[in-house]
Amino acid sequence: MTLYLGIDTSAYTTSLAIVDEQAELVYENRKILTVPEGERGLAQSAALFQHVQNLPQLVTAVPPQYWEKVSALGVSTAPRPIQESYMPVFLPGYGVAAAMASARCIPLVETSHQEGHLAAGIASSKLKEPHFLAIHISGGTTELLEVHHTQPGKLDIQLLGGTTDLHAGQFVDRVGVRLGLPFPAGKSLEELARQADPGAAAWLPSAVRGFEVSFSGVETAAQRLIDQGKNPADVARAVEGCIVRTLGKLLQAGMEKTTLSEILIVGGVASNQFIRQELKKRLARHANLHWAEPDWSRDNAIGVALLALEKVRGCII
């Protein structure tokens, strides 16, 4: 059995994953970075330091019998596959992966965090179309993408639109922390919103102009709801409802521009079940929505390992 190992060190998660030649997940481990209570994020220097601490733990935890079968390593080295894309948090992962690949005399495949998300989404949703629209929604990204998957280990991505200020995940986290939820707030906000009045989903407007969306104004409006003493569950549901309407309008613009109807939705915010259900209701007649499995939507190294597999084998899985 030949194995392929991937490493990803994103803004808030240290991840390691191993897949086999059939693109099946063999082993996976990740560690969410620690954010002090009440804080809404980490400085890059603090996140980088935690990755330096976490990576030896994740590497040591890999079952020993897998190491002799690893024939290539993949690693994310940047947020997006464009030249100016850079974040220091990806340096520790690259350093560890490069050292291991050199010591083992095996190939090192460099990719991006965004391509890893998309690859994990393609694999877990069983999307077969090589040309599709994608929405990447997380704490660090809210982007509408046109994607061609025609090269092994590489995704050709064109940015069509996205946020002009806050990302969807930042919107969730800022409101969630204000409601007393732990950071990152996605899971807790989703659980809280299950107790909401159904009508609360319509409380906040969406701000969409063509291919540009904004969350800063509605985040301020959500904070006002909290100041007014509104039920926290209703405020949480209002945030989810706003995201649904925003993404629905953005995707509609993308479908009209490209005539594409195959849509892949990835990123941590995409794991929210209410958002999934409501987007399906809005777009089911016009689009085929493909979702990464919830646990594969959040930051992970699975897609990075899969891209290493593709690149080394020279074929799209």
Tell the burial category of 317 from Cβ atoms under 10 Å away from its Cβ (0-12, 13-18, 19+): middle
Question: 184, 168 in Cβ contact below 8 A?
Answer: no
Q: What is the CATH number of domain 3-125+296-313?
A: 3.30.420.40
Reported pTM = 0.95
279-295 pLDDT per residue, tens? 999 998 889 999 989 99
Cis, bond preceding 184 (omega within 30 deg of 0): yes
| Residues pairing with 108 in the sheet | 73
pLDDT number for residue 290 = 96
Range list of H helices, 29-151: 44-61, 64-67, 90-104, 113-125
Distance CA 226, CA 200 (A): 13
Q: Compute the 3-state secondary structure of the chain and give helix, strand, coil in percent, each to the nearest 5.
A: 45, 25, 30
pLDDT number for residue 40 = 84
38-48 pLDDT per residue, tens? 888 899 999 99
171-192 pLDDT per residue, tens? 999 999 999 999 999 999 999 9
CATH 3.30.420.40 intervals, the chain: 3-125+296-313, 162-291
**Among 14, 103, 1, CA closest to 54:** 14
CA 283, 284, 285, 288 dihedral sign is: positive
Question: 242, 218 in Cβ contact below 8 A?
Answer: yes
CATH class of the structural domain 162-291? alpha beta
pLDDT number for residue 39 = 86
CA 187 to chain centre: 14
* 10-residue mean pLDDT series, the chain (317 residues): 97 97 97 90 95 98 97 97 94 98 98 98 96 95 97 97 97 96 95 97 97 98 98 98 98 97 95 96 93 92 98 94
Which residue is it, tokens 């660090």? 140
